[in-house]
Structure 1
Amino acid sequence: MRPSRLLVPVVVTMVSLAGAVPGVRAAVPPVAPSAMASGDQPYASYWHPNTILSWDPATDPDARFNRARVPLAPRASDPALRANPNARAGEGRIASLVSFAPTSRNPSQGSADPSYYAFSYWQYVDTLVFWGGSASEGLILAPNATVIDAAHRNGVKVYGTLFFPPTVYGGQLQWVRDFVQKSGNSYPVADKLVQVAQHYGFEGWFINQETGGGNTALATEVRRALTYARSRGPVEFMWYDAMTESGAVAWQDALNSSNDAFLQDGSVRVSDSMFLDFGWNSSKLASSRRVARGLGRSEYELYAGIDTEANGYNSSVDWNAAFPADQPHVTGLGLYRPEWTWKSSSSRADFYQREARYWVGPTGDPSSSGTTAPWKGLATYVAESTPVVAKPFVTTFNAGHGDMYAIEGEQVATGGWNNLSLQDVPPTYRWVVQSSGTKLTPSIDFSDAYEGGSSLRLSGRLDAANTVRLYQTRLPVNADTRLSIVVKAPMAGAARVAAAVAFADDPTSFTYLDIGATAGTAWETRDLDLSAYAGRTIAQLGLRIAADTQVDAYSLRIGRLAVHDGPVAAVDAPSGLSVLGMTDVSAIRKSLRLAWNAAGGPVHHYDVFRRGPDGGRTYLGGTTNTAYFVAQLDRAGGELRTTVEVEAVGAEGGRSAATGTEVQWSDLD
Structure 2
Amino acid sequence: MPKLKRLSCCGGGNPCRILSEVRVLHGRSFTAVAVAVALVVTLLPSSATASDTLPWEGVAAKGANQPYQHGYTSADLLRWTPESDLFGDMTRARVPLQPRVAPLKATQADPNLDPAVQQLTLAGDYGNAFFESYPYNNEFSAYLFNYWQYTDYYAAWHGMPTEGVPEKLYDPKLDWREKWFEFGMLNLPNSGYTNAAHKNGVKSLGCIFFSENDRGTQTYTEMLVQDENGDYPVARKLVELARWYGFDGYFINQEEPSVAVADIPRYKAFLKVLRDSGLYVQFYDSVDTITGLRVYQNEFNSQNSPFVRDPELGDVSDSMFLNYWWNKSKLTSSRNHARSLGLDPRRAVFAGLEAGKDQFKQRFNLDDNLDADGVPMNGIATLGADFVHSDMADKENDAKQWQAYDRERRWWTGSSTGGADDAANWKGISSYITERSTISGTTFDTTFNTGHGLEYVEKGAVSNPAEWSNINIQDHPVTWQWNISASGDGTPVLGVDYDYGPRYTKADRFSYQQVGAYQGGSSLVLTGDLAADNYLKLYRTNLSVTDKSKLGITYRKVSADDASQLRAAVTFADDPDTVVHLPIEASGARTGWTKASLDLSPYAGRTIVTLGLFVAAGPATIENYQLNVGRMTLTDGESHVPPTPTGFHIRAALTGTDELELGWNLDDYDRVAEYAVYDNGVYLGGTYDDVLYVKRFTGQKGTLELRAVGHDGSVSEPAIIRYDFRRAPGDVKATTAADGSVTVTWPKAAPGARVRLESAYSGTRIVREVTSTDATSATLTRLPTTGGHYLVTVSHSSATPVSYRGEFADTHVEAYPAALVTVTGNLFRFRTPSTADWYKLHVKEDGVAKTFATTYSSGAKPYIIRGRTTLAALTVMMDRLDSEVTVTIEDYAGNTTTTVVRAALAERLSEGGLRVP
Q: TM-score scaled by structure 2?
A: 0.66
Looking at structure 2, the residues matched to 16 and 501 of structure 1 have their Cα atoms a distance apart, in angstroms, of: 43
CA distance 1:19–1:154, shift in 2 (3 Å): closer
Structure 1 partner of 2:143: 117
Please tell me the residue identity of whatever aligns with 1:538. I
Structure 2 partner of 1:478: 546
Structure 1 partner of 2:594: 524
* Residue 348 (1) aligns with residue 401 (2): yes
Looking at structure 2, the residues matched to 311 and 420 of structure 1 have their Cα atoms a distance apart, in angstroms, of: 27
Looking at structure 1, the residues matched to 17 and 454 of structure 2 have their Cα atoms a distance apart, in angstroms, of: 30
Structure 1 partner of 2:497: 443
What is the Cα deviation at residue 315 of structure 1?
3.4
Local SS of the residue matching 1:358: helix
Looking at structure 1, the residues matched to 159 and 133 of structure 2 have their Cα atoms a distance apart, in angstroms, of: 16
What is the Cα deviation at residue 581 of structure 1?
2.1
CA distance 1:17–1:157, shift in 2 (3 Å): closer
Structure 1 vs Structure 2: percent identity of aligned residues?
Answer: 32
- Determine if contact 2:659/2:697 at 8 Å carries over to the other structure: yes
* Residue 459 (1) aligns with residue 513 (2): no
What is the Cα deviation at residue 60 of structure 1?
3.1
* Residue 543 (1) aligns with residue 541 (2): no
Structure 2 partner of 1:489: 557
- Determine if contact 2:8/2:16 at 8 Å carries over to the other structure: no
Structure 2 partner of 1:208: 253
- Determine if contact 2:407/2:416 at 8 Å carries over to the other structure: no
How big is each residue's C-alpha offset from its partner over 1:196-222, in whole Å with a ceiling of 9 and x where there is no partner? Answer: 111122110000111124311222211
Local SS of the residue matching 1:415: coil
Structure 1 partner of 2:131: 105
* Residue 644 (1) aligns with residue 704 (2): yes
Looking at structure 2, the residues matched to 280 and 25 of structure 1 have their Cα atoms a distance apart, in angstroms, of: 32
Structure 2 partner of 1:396: 447
What is the Cα deviation at residue 105 of structure 1?
2.2
How big is each residue's C-alpha offset from its partner over 1:137-183, in whole Å with a ceiling of 9 and x where there is no partner? Answer: 21111112210111111111111101112x134443x5311111111
1:626 to 680, 690, 704: 690
Stretch of structure 1 that moved more, 597-606 or 461-470: 597-606
1:65 to 73, 90, 94: 90
CA distance 1:191–1:171, shift in 2 (3 Å): same
Looking at structure 2, the residues matched to 285 and 249 of structure 1 have their Cα atoms a distance apart, in angstroms, of: 20
What is the Cα deviation at residue 45 of structure 1?
4.0
1:296 to 337, 342, 349: 342
* Residue 242 (1) aligns with residue 291 (2): no
How big is each residue's C-alpha offset from its partner over 1:283-312, in whole Å with a ceiling of 9 and x where there is no partner? Answer: 111111122112211111211111121111
Stretch of structure 1 that moved more, 391-400 or 244-253: 244-253
CA distance 1:391–1:200, shift in 2 (3 Å): farther
What is the Cα deviation at residue 542 of structure 1?
0.8
Local SS of the residue matching 2:466: strand
Local SS of the residue matching 1:353: helix
Structure 2 partner of 1:164: 210
Looking at structure 2, the residues matched to 2 and 392 of structure 1 have their Cα atoms a distance apart, in angstroms, of: 47
Structure 2 partner of 1:505: 574
- Determine if contact 1:363/1:370 at 8 Å carries over to the other structure: yes
What is the Cα deviation at residue 335 of structure 1?
0.7
Structure 1 partner of 2:884: none
- Determine if contact 2:345/2:377 at 8 Å carries over to the other structure: yes
Looking at structure 2, the residues matched to 632 and 440 of structure 1 have their Cα atoms a distance apart, in angstroms, of: 40
Please tell me the residue identity of whatever aligns with 2:601. S
What is the Cα deviation at residue 651 of structure 1?
1.4
Structure 2 partner of 1:416: 467
Please tell me the residue identity of whatever aligns with 1:595. G
Structure 2 regions of 5+ residues with no counterpart? 21-50, 56-61, 161-180, 395-399, 502-515, 731-746, 749-917
* Residue 191 (1) aligns with residue 236 (2): yes
2:649 to 566, 574, 578: 578
Looking at structure 1, the residues matched to 331 and 314 of structure 2 have their Cα atoms a distance apart, in angstroms, of: 23
Looking at structure 1, the residues matched to 426 and 71 of structure 2 have their Cα atoms a distance apart, in angstroms, of: 35
Structure 1 partner of 2:113: 88
CA distance 1:45–1:546, shift in 2 (3 Å): same
CA distance 1:103–1:189, shift in 2 (3 Å): farther
What is the Cα deviation at residue 619 of structure 1?
1.3
- Determine if contact 1:103/1:133 at 8 Å carries over to the other structure: no
- Determine if contact 2:13/2:158 at 8 Å carries over to the other structure: no
Please tell me the residue identity of whatever aligns with 1:287. S
What is the Cα deviation at residue 666 of structure 1?
4.4
- Determine if contact 1:445/1:454 at 8 Å carries over to the other structure: yes
- Determine if contact 2:540/2:609 at 8 Å carries over to the other structure: yes
Local SS of the residue matching 2:332: helix
- Determine if contact 1:38/1:593 at 8 Å carries over to the other structure: no
What is the Cα deviation at residue 223 of structure 1?
1.0
Q: Kindly report which structure 2 residues correspond to 1:294-443, keeping only aligned pairs within 5 A, or say none.
A: 294-300=340-346, 301-324=348-371, 326-345=373-392, 346=394, 347-362=400-415, 364-365=417-418, 369=421, 373-436=424-487, 437-443=491-497
Structure 2 partner of 1:260: 305
Q: Which has the higher contact order (CA 8 A, sep 6+)?
A: 1
Local SS of the residue matching 1:116: coil
- Determine if contact 1:568/1:653 at 8 Å carries over to the other structure: no
CA distance 1:55–1:399, shift in 2 (3 Å): same
Looking at structure 1, the residues matched to 535 and 662 of structure 2 have their Cα atoms a distance apart, in angstroms, of: 45
Looking at structure 1, the residues matched to 189 and 661 of structure 2 have their Cα atoms a distance apart, in angstroms, of: 20
What is the Cα deviation at residue 598 of structure 1?
2.7
- Determine if contact 2:53/2:129 at 8 Å carries over to the other structure: no
Please tell me the residue identity of whatever aligns with 1:125. T
Looking at structure 1, the residues matched to 187 and 336 of structure 2 have their Cα atoms a distance apart, in angstroms, of: 34
- Determine if contact 2:565/2:585 at 8 Å carries over to the other structure: yes
- Determine if contact 2:151/2:202 at 8 Å carries over to the other structure: yes
Structure 2 partner of 1:138: 184
Structure 2 partner of 1:77: 103
2:74 to 43, 49, 55: 49
Looking at structure 1, the residues matched to 646 and 567 of structure 2 have their Cα atoms a distance apart, in angstroms, of: 41
Please tell me the residue identity of whatever aligns with 2:152. D
What is the Cα deviation at residue 389 of structure 1?
2.5
- Determine if contact 1:39/1:583 at 8 Å carries over to the other structure: no
- Determine if contact 1:93/1:126 at 8 Å carries over to the other structure: yes
What is the Cα deviation at residue 467 of structure 1?
1.2
Looking at structure 2, the residues matched to 497 and 102 of structure 1 have their Cα atoms a distance apart, in angstroms, of: 41
CA distance 1:520–1:569, shift in 2 (3 Å): farther
Stretch of structure 1 that moved more, 316-325 or 301-310: 316-325
Looking at structure 1, the residues matched to 545 and 258 of structure 2 have their Cα atoms a distance apart, in angstroms, of: 61
Structure 2 partner of 1:596: 664
Q: TM-score scaled by structure 1?
A: 0.90
- Determine if contact 1:88/1:381 at 8 Å carries over to the other structure: yes
- Determine if contact 1:180/1:189 at 8 Å carries over to the other structure: yes
Aligned residues: 640
Structure 2 partner of 1:614: none
* Residue 654 (1) aligns with residue 714 (2): yes
Structure 2 partner of 1:33: none
Structure 2 partner of 1:556: 627
- Determine if contact 1:490/1:556 at 8 Å carries over to the other structure: yes
CA distance 1:357–1:3, shift in 2 (3 Å): closer
Looking at structure 1, the residues matched to 690 and 659 of structure 2 have their Cα atoms a distance apart, in angstroms, of: 17
Structure 2 partner of 1:469: 537
- Determine if contact 2:415/2:422 at 8 Å carries over to the other structure: yes
Looking at structure 2, the residues matched to 119 and 610 of structure 1 have their Cα atoms a distance apart, in angstroms, of: 29
What is the Cα deviation at residue 230 of structure 1?
2.2
CA distance 1:2–1:532, shift in 2 (3 Å): closer
CA distance 1:325–1:352, shift in 2 (3 Å): farther
Stretch of structure 1 that moved more, 460-469 or 491-500: 491-500
Please tell me the residue identity of whatever aligns with 1:77. P
1:126 to 106, 128, 152: 152
Please tell me the residue identity of whatever aligns with 2:104. D
